[in-house]
Amino acid sequence: MNDTLVETLSGIRGIYGASLTKEVAQNYARAYGIFLINKFRGKVRVVVGGDTRKSTGILKRIFIAEWRGLGFVVIDVGVATTPMIELAVREYRATGGVIVTASHNEPEYNGWKLLQASGAILGVKQADIVIRLARAGNLNVGGNKKPGKIINRTEDLKNKYVQFILKTIGLKATQQIKQGKYKILVDPNGGAGGVIADKLCKRLGVKMVGVNMRPGQFKRLVVPNKETLAYLTPVINKEQADFGVGLDCDADRAEMLIKSESQIAKERGNMINGHEALALAIDALGPKETIVINLPTAHLIYQVTKKYGARIKEVDVGETNVVAEMEKQKSLVGGEGSNGGVIVAPGKCRDGLLNAVLVLKLMAERKQTLEEIIAGYPLFFEERKIVTARRDKSGLLKTRIREYYKKRGRKIQSAPGVDSGIKILFNQNNWLFFRGSKTEPGVFRIIANGDDRRLVKRMILEGEIIFDKLNR
């Protein structure tokens, strides 16, 4: 098992007790504390929450102890989802906070995400400051004679999150959902989503079939996908649920499934992919503002948004890139179809449960089943491959790939910056995407996506061949 401490803009992650130690946590708590003291020069309020891993409680206590020692007011929200904790920062007017989670990684991993006052994770420059301070170690920030106050808001936050969801969909949609008498299956896999899913469903008048609801009891791999959620299909069929939702440990990622007995499932499969999930959320919200997506999001989104007259802005892969552009464009909705999940302002991250509720909103408004709605979307296909560059050739490979396709007259898209992925357009809806991993040296991901199945297969094969040729 590969265990290298990952320290990036997206957060810190490692196996607890190995690369991720109490000392690492203390260094980051102190580094972030210094950052907040320097930034706000006054009373600091921080939110602390996390998922259901065994080590989460230990790590939370370290952050709480360090920050109380600096005189910070600490707001403990207990076990909560990432969207809930980010909401808490805004609702309780905090200056920042920490989410203790390793998200979709397996239970032996843990980590944390450090937050801005908006609830969003730290930006590039901010994260760089904290990481450099933490790596330096031996941080003497001085003691505070009077420890900071600790406030528990665990139950209050649950109520605030439910209210946030209801406000997002509106009173009319809430009533329509109640009248629809829907039934959904929810599988949090022992993760943080289990602490709020039932309460949310009850407020919406939705009957919930809970699977793997006991906190900290992980019955499948944490990341929700077609393979890990396959065992839910017979349960959805048996219960005749309108759809099922599988969550990761902090419930920012969600994958949805429909009954396998339906005609559309027989034709397309019963998993709603990330591109379709984003399209459903956009349809539910009907935004007029600019919609922000990442480069490897299917052009299905362009077709769905035509009726709303909304402009689409593409950015590089990464939730922070989507959120930053949404703030700039004053967007209502955005997301990464390639990674699953929708971001709805003022939220600053993907929210799996909100995505599911938006689907219910759309079903109630249209008085259609999810199968009927999906059947109205054009079918897009996707193929993926992981390849490895020769040592010290990653940067050169991007240049070579770009030059290769430029000579052949292909239109090329990328975002600003040397780390951006490269998107090669074969026609309006079909494209090939290359991106080097930021956490795995030399690893490249190749994605082909489009509405022409034969062309998609041809593109992914061509991508592998060209990569191998230019990698020599």
> What pTM does this model have?
0.95
pLDDT tens for each residue of 137-193: 877 766 556 899 999 999 999 999 999 999 999 999 999 999 999 999 999 999 999
Q: Are 196 and 162 in contact (CB under 8 A)?
A: yes
Q: Is the pLDDT of residue 288 over 90?
A: yes
**Three-state SS sequence of 100-164:** ECCCCCCCCEEEEEEECCCCCECCHHHHHHHHHHHHHCCCCCCCCCCCCCEEECHHHHHHHHHHH
Per-residue pLDDT, 144:
59
End-to-end CA distance of the chain: 29
Options 10, 19, 55, 103, the catalytic residue: 103
Q: Is the pLDDT of residue 10 over 90?
A: no
**Average of per-residue pLDDT across 123-131:** 94
Q: Are 405 and 412 in contact (CB under 8 A)?
A: yes
Name the segment(s) of the chain with CATH classification 3.40.120.10. Answer: 6-152, 158-375
The third-level CATH classification (topology) of the domain covering 158-375 is: Alpha-D-Glucose-1,6-Bisphosphate; Chain A, domain 3 (3.40.120)
Confidence of residue 372 (pLDDT cuts 50, 70, 90): very high
**Average of per-residue pLDDT across 256-282:** 95
Active site residue 260: no
Which residue is listed with tokens 């950015």? Answer: 315
**How many whole angstroms separate alpha carbon 171 and alpha carbon 166?**
7
pLDDT tens for each residue of 203-227: 999 999 999 999 999 999 999 999 9
The third-level CATH classification (topology) of the domain covering 381-470 is: TATA-Binding Protein (3.30.310)
Q: Is the pLDDT of residue 464 over 80?
A: yes
Per-residue pLDDT, 224:
95
The third-level CATH classification (topology) of the domain covering 6-152 is: Alpha-D-Glucose-1,6-Bisphosphate; Chain A, domain 3 (3.40.120)
Per-residue pLDDT, 4:
87
